[in-house]
Structure 1
Amino acid sequence: MKFVHLLLAIFSFATIFAQNPSVNDSLEIRKIYDMSLLNGKSYDWLEHLSNDIGGRLSGSYEAQQAIEYTKAELEALGLDKVWLQPVMVPKWTRGSREYAYLQTGPGATTELDICALGGSVPTAPTGLKAQVIEVQGIEQLKEYGKENIEGKIVFFNRPMQADLIQTFKAYSGCVDQRYSGAMEASKMGAVGVLVRSMNLRIDDFPHTGSMSYGDLPEREQIPAAAISTQDAEYLSSMLKLNRETQVYLKMNCEQHEDVQSYNVIGEITGSEKPEEIMVVGGHLDSWDLGDGSHDDGAGCVQSMEVLRLFREIGYKPKRTIRVVLFMNEENGLRGGNKYAEVAREKGENHVFALESDAGGFTPRGFNFNSSVAQFEKITSWKSLFEPYLIHLFAKGGGGADIGPLGNSGNIALAGLMPDSQRYFDYHHAANDTFEAVNKRELELGAATMASLMYLVDQYGLD
């Protein structure tokens, strides 16, 4: 009788277990986290990308090395398909180290920490020396007028807004002066531009980033450099004391013809719905000052790890899952645009895309660009993430590289949302190195991404 009762209990438990998918999902997600934390590969991959290859500026030798390395590693995972997708990318080189100083009088100079902005033209071989006018943003140029700006270096000194808890909003609030500042200042007769680094702390690291001259003719393009927040504060204080203060800049950067590069793609073909494609990815290129560990080596290795984790735990996706390592996010978005273009040409049905491009810090949740119905379904899974302290599910966002996929179909886009408070300490600067990445935080992010991909694959978003 006891044996019969035991069988009935086992049968009842199995019935409840089968009828409650959240129990199965909890166990599967636990497997994913255990595998990532106890037997992860992402940190080792990042170590090679960062320390053995280094900064991977679009079109560079290092970028090509990263392409070959990641392709080989994806092939070693035994995926169903691995390939390179050709894409033409811009090539810009920094040249020898930039040099700048502030001069307040004859022989009275102080060196400044600067770096050229990506895409800037160089100074003349002898450098550039001029008086400086400080403004708080592009809109203030018109207030000063051409008569006060012509022949001077414009110093854009609007800081990131420190009282905004969402640091990406603080970044968005002042990045226009970096991207368009040189173009607008040139229209007013300026001869050069200095831009306060996009950084919330005061330090000696200048932060580069992309900039544009728009449709300005080449003869009107002026040198543009970022200045560290420490030296931005110093320059501002000196200008208050002496409006005749001058700055000398020497930059050797150069824009070249476009070159051939590649997106790196690996795929596990779906077992039930292979025509429905899910993408997980990051961008393989980086700026050249550091080694791009947070931006975006972390996102690349986390995305690769998603497919490896599925292989390791024996999970066979219903839908086709692709990892895409995009090229040229930093100064052109050519890789993301090319991937979406080819997908449209082939008539591929992409149903979901997840991007990691906010650093390898502790994961907090996700941003979603989706329909109301899709978002409601996704948030119904929130309780499965709460044991891992993942609780932020927000509408809006996704990612730059997967953004072009959102122009067609009913695809939902998502972006991993790590803790962002330290991200801009490293973003586009020389201290974005492997040592700045915490192994456990990186692995938690990879597991979090794999868990969301698993749930979308299991239940879809229809």
Structure 2
Amino acid sequence: MQKCVLVLLFVGLFGFAQTKDEKQIKSIFDTALTEPQGYEWLNYLSNQIGGRLSGSVQAQQAVDYTKKELDKLGLDRVWLQPVMVPKWVRGGTEFAFFETKPGHTTNVPICALGGSIATPRGGIKAPVIEVNGIEELAQLGESNIKGKIVFYNKPMDPTLISTFSAYSGCVDQRYSGAAEAVKYGAIGVIVRSMNLRLDDYPHTGSMAYGDLAVDQRIPAAAISTKAAELLSTTLKLNPNTLFFFNQSCQQLDDVESYNVIGEIRGSTYPNEIMTVGGHLDSWDLGDGSHDDGAGCVQSMEVLRLLAATGHKPKRTIRVVLFMNEENGLRGGKAYAKMAQEKKENHVFALESDAGGFTPRGFSFDCSDANFEKVQAWKKLFEPYLIHMFVKGGSGADIGPLKHPDMVLAGLRPDSQRYFDHHHAENDTFEHVNQRELQLGAATMASLVYLFDEYGVVPPRSLKD
């Protein structure tokens, strides 16, 4: 009889806990959807400030604005963490055309890749050689490449449902294409934009020259997918087609910028830190609404939603708006270094850097024991159509925090439209849906709530 009573008591307590969590999560979602704040923050970041390239005036304006807004939330502490960041400037608008015979030219949309050098004054014109990825360079050899512009035309794989996997499969040509092509005597590179649809928007992004001396570097630009298709067809009809492009970008000395940080101190375990964040910088072609204004305001919303729904955190919850994810990751590295130097105990970190689209779930970088724990919470998210809990990556800025005892997580929205806007001129406010953005914020706040309430599974050595 006593055993049955204990079983019933346990079941009753478990049912209460589930009901409590369900009520809290519903309150979070209801508040996010009926009292939205993130969309207003994003409106200001996008339409009053605009693109926030590291080291720019706009980046500093974003630092000032978000710090002011965090101050208004009444957090226990808000501060700026100084970090030195690269300052690359685009200069004047780029210009390009291809020429099939003297006087017969077709203009095409391009943009300089972030970190590229300028073309010589007046631009460069040269024969073009098309390749389907870096691996083809060695097959062609210097005799076929020297003195030419390499045209990387490897597309994202449309058969991959995960568009981030498709992106990973060809982004090496953007990042390392110039450094590899110069080994074979190329004088410039043009890279097909990382985009699954055909349009006239060239997509920028970071590139690097490795250890190449400055005088050995060659200019690199992205060409829109529609123009890439046209150029490829033209080359098949006329292999002697010439390509011209002109860009005036330059790399300046590093400048000081900041990570913007705010925290609510935990009531029970203040030394256990949970971090949630996105990156405040963006590329300069659009206004960075999806990448990553959305992630920043969603992270700010996490703290606001928890407070608005009456949750008193047991652990210290910290929002970090990282600077310089796009072309250096200086903010993420500086934050991790600070945490290490101060011997801070980070137990959980969540990043949103995949756009403000409808949330589908999370990816986790954690132990099997912690993944089993979050799998048990999956049913709490299913009423909100959040169904995808997978092991995998988390986020670039929180990556440097990684250690075996913590949980890293990444919000995973529907990704099918993300690369239509990624790093392009059309990454703008009107392409973010308020309801989808707020659903993402509520999803993040719910996961933070659960980890704050129940903690992470400690490593076996601590349990024994």
C-alpha contact (below 8 Å) 1:281/1:325 kept by paired residues: yes
Moved more, 16-25 or 168-177: 16-25
CA distance in 2, matches of 1:313, 1:454: 11
Number of positions where the alignment pairs a residue of Structure 1 with one of Structure 2 = 450
Matched residue, 2:454: 459
**TM superposition shift of 1:311:** 1.3
Matched residue, 2:96: 100
C-alpha contact (below 8 Å) 2:359/2:412 kept by paired residues: yes
Matched residue, 1:289: 285
Please give the residue correspondences for 1:269-280 in structure 2 after superposition, counting only pairs within 5 Å: 269-280=265-276
**TM superposition shift of 1:16:** 3.7
Q: Does 1:121 align with 2:117?
A: yes
Which SS does the other structure have where 1:20 is aligned?
A: helix
Which SS does the other structure have where 2:196 is aligned?
A: coil
1:414 to 403, 409, 412: 409
Which SS does the other structure have where 2:363 is aligned?
A: strand
**TM superposition shift of 1:461:** 1.2
Matched residue, 2:350: 354
Q: Does 1:394 align with 2:396?
A: no
C-alpha contact (below 8 Å) 1:294/1:432 kept by paired residues: yes
C-alpha contact (below 8 Å) 1:357/1:416 kept by paired residues: yes
CA distance in 2, matches of 1:194, 1:126: 17
Aligned AA (1:417): R
CA distance in 2, matches of 1:409, 1:205: 42
1:295-351 CA-to-partner distances (Å, cap 9, x unmatched) read 000000000000001111111100000000000000000000000000000000000
**TM superposition shift of 1:411:** 1.0
CA distance in 2, matches of 1:364, 1:412: 19
CA 1:409–1:347 in structure 2 vs 1: closer, same or farther (change >3 Å)?
A: farther
CA distance in 2, matches of 1:39, 1:20: 28
Q: How large is the Cα RMSD of the aligned pairs?
A: 1.3
Which SS does the other structure have where 2:415 is aligned?
A: coil
Matched residue, 2:242: 246
C-alpha contact (below 8 Å) 2:367/2:404 kept by paired residues: no
1:255 to 251, 254, 261: 251
Please give the residue correspondences for 1:42-121 in structure 2 after superposition, counting only pairs within 5 Å: 42-121=38-117
C-alpha contact (below 8 Å) 1:134/1:156 kept by paired residues: yes
CA distance in 1, matches of 2:387, 2:15: 25
Matched residue, 2:148: 152
Q: Does 1:220 align with 2:216?
A: yes
Aligned AA (2:375): T
Q: Does 1:429 align with 2:416?
A: no
Q: Does 1:374 align with 2:370?
A: yes
CA distance in 2, matches of 1:180, 1:358: 23
C-alpha contact (below 8 Å) 1:17/1:23 kept by paired residues: no
C-alpha contact (below 8 Å) 1:17/1:24 kept by paired residues: no
Matched residue, 1:5: none
Matched residue, 2:207: 211
CA distance in 2, matches of 1:106, 1:345: 63
Aligned AA (1:434): F
CA distance in 2, matches of 1:141, 1:17: 65
Matched residue, 1:24: 20
Which SS does the other structure have where 2:176 is aligned?
A: helix
Identity of aligned residues (%): 67
TM-score under structure 1 length normalisation: 0.96
Matched residue, 1:190: 186
**TM superposition shift of 1:126:** 1.1
CA distance in 2, matches of 1:394, 1:19: 26
C-alpha contact (below 8 Å) 2:277/2:352 kept by paired residues: yes
Which SS does the other structure have where 2:316 is aligned?
A: strand
Matched residue, 1:337: 333
- For structure 2, the residue ranges without an aligned partner over 5 or more in a row are 1-7, 458-464
Aligned AA (1:413): L
1:127-151 CA-to-partner distances (Å, cap 9, x unmatched) read 1100000000111001111011000
C-alpha contact (below 8 Å) 2:163/2:415 kept by paired residues: yes
- For structure 1, the residue ranges without an aligned partner over 5 or more in a row are 1-11
Which SS does the other structure have where 1:29 is aligned?
A: helix
Matched residue, 1:320: 316
1:346-386 CA-to-partner distances (Å, cap 9, x unmatched) read 00000000000000000000000000000000110000000
C-alpha contact (below 8 Å) 1:326/1:401 kept by paired residues: yes
Aligned AA (1:208): T
Which SS does the other structure have where 2:135 is aligned?
A: helix
Matched residue, 2:3: none
1:16-54 CA-to-partner distances (Å, cap 9, x unmatched) read 477531110000000000000000100000000000000
Moved over 4 A (4+): none
CA distance in 1, matches of 2:286, 2:447: 31
CA distance in 2, matches of 1:461, 1:212: 38
Aligned AA (1:111): N
2:442 to 434, 447, 452: 447
Matched residue, 1:162: 158
Which SS does the other structure have where 2:353 is aligned?
A: coil
Matched residue, 2:129: 133
C-alpha contact (below 8 Å) 2:366/2:404 kept by paired residues: no
CA distance in 1, matches of 2:438, 2:317: 20
CA 1:411–1:18 in structure 2 vs 1: closer, same or farther (change >3 Å)?
A: closer
2:195 to 170, 193, 199: 199
CA distance in 2, matches of 1:124, 1:207: 22
Aligned AA (2:436): E
